[in-house]
Structure 1
Amino acid sequence: MKKYAYIGCLGFLAVITTEFGIIGILPQIAEHYKISIDKAGYLLSVFALVIALTGPFMTLLASGFDRKKVMLTAIFIFLITGVVSSFAPPFWLLMLVRILPAFLQPVYIATALSVAVSQADKKRENELMSIVFSGVAIAMVTTVPFATWLASIWSWEYSFVIQAIVSVVALAGIYFVLPSMPVKEKKSFGSQLKILGKPTFIISTFMNFFMITAWFSTYSYFAEYLNKTKAMDSTMVSYMLFVFGIIGVFSNWVAGKMLNKNIAKTTAFFLSGTILVPILLHFSGGNSIATIVVIAIWGFLYSPSFLNASTYMISSAPDSLEFANSLATSFGNLGVSLGTTIGGWIIITKGVGYNPWIGFFFGILAFLMIGLRSFYEGKTIL
């Protein structure tokens, strides 16, 4: 039922607003706590690292519980994070409350996807999954830029107020719309762990990891990059996030349709942005119009990355949707953590202008993984 997919999308909106809403305010947080931008980036990279390290195990542990209760519990923890963070606590406490929801983020995503496709036929699964994942793009066009804009007018704490409000709305949607969904037949851990021995799944996992690392080496420092290399102030950055997101809503819809036809080709098409965008950013220079056009292209090619990564991995293990997706989420977030960490290091040692070229390098590695899987399966993506 599409209704379930839209509820999953609403919760995803809260999840992404909390995880990535901080991207637009990292410079302000660094200034407030008198720390360097790379240390402020820990708020994103540590969040992602916790997801990467605990996601599959948490998903396996939660796989036997009522899906509605699992989704409600996860979003409630995100609500607590938004509320506590809005009071500008000491940095160590801000870090702690950022970490807490990370334990349940992959559990929420895997459960929401499972709920969305629970009553659908195989032909519509990718389309319904794209509806859930559109929460990423919608957050990029609504709550993330809005929170950044509010922070630019008043203070960064208001960004977390928005996160808390979105979580309340998501909680209400899940509570009042979703029926109780007890798990009728729990799969054994052993049957789900079998996918770890499949070469195509392992190759797909590396593709996911390299692709997300490529994107987040620059995207994590979106505000810093536009501040320093394109001379945009915080208000202009919020507008750029809006452009980035509104294009992303459309591109997620396009990706959902394309994935139904060919998963490998669709993944390769959007992955091409990791190669193309660094080149375009370099040649756009200080031209504002050219930069806006490049950001639109960037938003189009980046936005379906988590959808593409999950679908690409699940396609190599179709009988273990929830566990495969939790691994996709974990390794994707490991990519977020590595990309953010390397990006922060490059900013300190070389300057933020070099960050897109990290993406270029990891994008090449991701393409090699797509080629390797296609070779292993005896297929061609061309």
Structure 2
Amino acid sequence: MKKFAYIGCLGFLAVITTEFGIIGILPQVATHYQISIDKAGYLLSAFALVIALTGPFMTLLASRFDRKKVMLTAIVIFLITGVISSFAPPFWLLMLVRILPAFLQPVYIATALAVAVSTADKKHENELMSIVFSGVAIAMVTTVPFATWLASLYSWEYSFVVQAIVSIIALIGIYLVLPSMPQKENKSYASQLKILTRPTFIISTAMNFFMITAWFSTYSYFAEYLGKAKDMDSAMISYMLFLFGFVGVFANWIAGKMLNKDITKTVAFFLSGTILIPILLYFSGDNLIGNSIVIGIWGFLYAPSFLNASTYMISSVPDSLEFANSLATSFGNLGVTLGTTVGGWIIVTKGVIYNPWIGLVFGILAFLMMGFRATLESRYKHKTVKRSL
């Protein structure tokens, strides 16, 4: 049922607004707390690191509970975070309440995807997953730029008010629309952990990690990059975030259709942006029209990255959707952590103008992982054919 996918998308909107809403206000947060931009970046990287370290275990623990209750619990925690953060608490407390929902973020995503495809035909699964993941792009076109715009008009605390409101709406939607969904069968932890022994899955995980690292080495400092490298003010940056997300909504829809036809080619197509965008940003200089076009292309190629990563990893272990997706979320967020950390270091030591080139390096590594997996699968098919003869 598509309505389950749309409800999953609504919750995803709240999740992403909380995780990435901080991106547009990092310079203001740094100024308020009188800290450097790379230290302010810990608000994003610490969130992502908690997801990376605890995601799979939390998903395994939650796999035996009613899916509706799991999703409601996760969104309640996100709501609490938004409310407390909006009061501009001391930095240590802001960091703490930012970390708390990170424990349940991968649990929510894995559960929402499982709910979305629970009544679907196999051939429509990728399309329904793309609806859930479109919450990422919708957040980028609505709540994230809106929160950044409000912050530019008033104060950065208003960004967290937006996050709290979105969480309330998601909470109501999940409660009213989703039926109770107790687990029909409890898979043993051992049976789910077996996927960690499959070489193609391990390589797919590495591809995910390098791809997300590539994107976030620059995207984590989107506002800082456009402000310093492209000489844009806060209002213009919020418009660029809107453009970035607006294009991304369509990209997610298109990616969902493309993944149904060919997963590998689709992932490679969108991954090419990690190499293309740094080059385009270099040649666009400070030309506003040129930069707007590049940011539009950037948003299109970036938006389906989490969908592509999950689908690519799940395709190597189709019998373990929830746990595989939690690992995709965890390693993707480990990529967010590394990308944000390396990006912050580059800003402090070299300058933000060099950040996109870090993305190019990690993008090449991601392509290499895709090549390794293709080689392994080709050898496996060759051996299978030999045995059958």
TM-score by length of 2: 0.97
Give the superposition deviation at 1:181.
0.3
Give the superposition deviation at 1:200.
0.2
Quote the Cα distance in structure 2 between the aligned partners of 1:244 and 1:29.
22
Give the superposition deviation at 1:218.
0.1
User: Structure 1, residues 132-174: CA drift from partner, whole Å, max 9, x if none?
Assistant: 0000000000000000000000000000000000000000000
Quote the Cα distance in structure 2 between the aligned partners of 1:329 and 1:17.
16
Quote the Cα distance in structure 1 between the aligned partners of 2:354 and 2:24.
19
Instruction: Trace 1:56-75 onto structure 2 (pairs within 5 A).
Output: 56-75=56-75
Question: Structure 2: which amino acid aligns with 1:82?
Answer: G
1:164 correspondence with 2:164: yes
1:377 alignment counterpart: 377
Give the superposition deviation at 1:44.
0.1
1:108 alignment counterpart: 108
2:387 alignment counterpart: none
Secondary structure, in 3 states, of the residue corresponding to 1:378? helix
1:316 alignment counterpart: 316
1:181 alignment counterpart: 181
2:270 alignment counterpart: 270
Which runs of no fewer than 5 residues in structure 1 stay unpaired?
none
2:97 alignment counterpart: 97
1:195 alignment counterpart: 195
1:288 alignment counterpart: 288
Quote the Cα distance in structure 2 between the aligned partners of 1:53 and 1:89.
26
2:348 alignment counterpart: 348
Give the superposition deviation at 1:378.
1.0
Tell me the number of residue pairs that the alignment of Structure 1 and Structure 2 aligns: 379
Question: Structure 1: which amino acid aligns with 2:111?
Answer: T
Instruction: Trace 1:12-91 onto structure 2 (pairs within 5 A).
Output: 12-91=12-91
Quote the Cα distance in structure 2 between the aligned partners of 1:135 and 1:207.
23
Quote the Cα distance in structure 1 between the aligned partners of 2:234 and 2:18.
19
Secondary structure, in 3 states, of the residue corresponding to 1:98? helix
User: Structure 1, residues 286-336: CA drift from partner, whole Å, max 9, x if none?
Assistant: 111100000000000000000000000000010000000000000000000
Quote the Cα distance in structure 2 between the aligned partners of 1:176 and 1:300.
33
Secondary structure, in 3 states, of the residue corresponding to 1:183? coil
Instruction: Trace 1:148-163 onto structure 2 (pairs within 5 A).
Output: 148-163=148-163
Give the superposition deviation at 1:11.
0.1
Question: Structure 2: which amino acid aligns with 1:73?
Answer: T
- Same amino acid, percent of matched pairs: 84
Give the superposition deviation at 1:69.
0.2
Give the superposition deviation at 1:184.
1.1
Give the superposition deviation at 1:34.
0.1
Quote the Cα distance in structure 2 between the aligned partners of 1:313 and 1:355.
27
Instruction: Trace 1:211-230 onto structure 2 (pairs within 5 A).
Output: 211-230=211-230
Quote the Cα distance in structure 1 between the aligned partners of 2:371 and 2:292.
32
Quote the Cα distance in structure 2 between the aligned partners of 1:264 and 1:320.
19
Which runs of no fewer than 5 residues in structure 2 stay unpaired?
380-389
Question: Structure 2: which amino acid aligns with 1:224?
Answer: E
Give the superposition deviation at 1:57.
0.1
Quote the Cα distance in structure 2 between the aligned partners of 1:215 and 1:77.
27
Question: Structure 2: which amino acid aligns with 1:142?
Answer: T
Quote the Cα distance in structure 1 between the aligned partners of 2:311 and 2:234.
35
Question: Structure 1: which amino acid aligns with 2:338?
Answer: L
Give the superposition deviation at 1:196.
0.2
TM-score by length of 1: 0.99
Runs of at least 4 residues of structure 1 off by over 2 A?
A: none
2:384 alignment counterpart: none
Give the superposition deviation at 1:17.
0.1
